């Protein structure tokens, strides 16, 4: 099973609007839906920037949210309604590098939108908080409550 990188946005826009913005910003093309994905799942693709390959993207509502989280069940991305999944395939290091470039580009283009960069819905890589900038997390920081002390100050609104 391949891994993916995830960018979570704390945006008030619908997934379709976020897909349109991402498509325009990164000059991506739509992926024709042959899987019967729901109307809120938007597939895009475009060339990788650092390696030879094509990146795939799915922009959708974040359905990984813990409903009514307690301090013991909170996840860093619980308050981020939009999820962007990114995959390259065979080269996990290149995939993360590509996702980081996209994250940085989104931070630059949308300085008013809080966002998180995660690896495979598990490890928290970086967070952007308007007015505070980008924060890099120590290796091994998970999105889960046991590591909330590492990410609490970088997640909006404050959870955990």
Q: Is 17 in a helix, a strand, or coil?
A: helix
Rg of the chain over CA atoms, in angstroms?
15
Q: What is the pLDDT of residues 40-76, one digit of tens each?
A: 899 999 999 999 999 999 999 999 887 788 888 899 9
Say what the pLDDT of residue 155 is.
87
Does domain 5-154 sit in CATH 3.30.310?
yes
pLDDT band, residue 36 (cuts 50/70/90): low
> Is the pLDDT reported for residue 11 higher than 50?
yes
CB atoms within 10 A of CB 55: 24
Partnered with residue 142 across adjacent β-strands are 123
- Compute the distance between CA of residue 107 and CA of residue 101 in angstroms, rounded to an integer: 10
**Contact 77/66 with Cβ under 8 angstroms?**
no
With 80 as the cut, is the pLDDT of residue 34 above it? no
Average pLDDT over residues 5-29: 96
Separation CA 120–CA 87 (nearest Å): 10
Residue-wise pLDDT for 80-120, tens only, equals 999 999 999 878 999 999 999 999 999 999 999 999 999 99
pLDDT of residue 94: 95
- Average pLDDT of the chain to the nearest whole number: 91
Largest alpha-carbon pair distance within the chain?
44
Token pair 């065979």 is found at 90
Contacts of 106 (CB under 8 A, 6+ apart): 7, 9, 22, 25, 113, 115
**Is there a contact between 129 and 115 (Cβ–Cβ < 8 Å)?**
no
Residues 6+ apart with CB under 8 A from 55: 45, 46, 47, 48, 86, 87, 88, 98
Q: Strand 115-119 to strand 42-47: parallel, antiparallel, or no bridges (unpaired)?
A: unpaired
Prediction pTM value: 0.93
Domain boundaries defined on the chain: 5-154
In a 13 Å sphere around the CA of 80, the CA atoms on its Cβ side amount to 30
């Amino acid at each position: 099973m391949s891994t993916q990188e995830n960018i979570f946005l704390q945006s008030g826009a619908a997934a379709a609007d976020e897909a349109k913005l991402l498509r325009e910003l990164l000059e991506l093309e739509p992926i024709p839906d042959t899987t019967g994905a729901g109307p809120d799942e938007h597939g895009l693709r475009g060339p990788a920037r650092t390696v030879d390959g094509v990146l795939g993207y799915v922009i959708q509502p974040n359905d990984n949210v813990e409903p009514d989280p307690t301090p013991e069940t909170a996840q860093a991305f619980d308050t981020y309604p939009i999820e962007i999944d990114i995959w390259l395939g065979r080269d996990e290091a290149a995939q993360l590098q590509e996702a980081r470039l996209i994250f940085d580009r989104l931070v630059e283009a949308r300085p008013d939108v809080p966002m998180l960069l995660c690896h495979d819905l598990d490890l928290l890589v970086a967070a952007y908080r308007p007015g505070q900038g980008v924060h890099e997390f120590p290796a091994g920081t998970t999105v889960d409550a046991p590591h909330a002390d590492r990410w609490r100050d970088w997640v909006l609104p404050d959870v955990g």
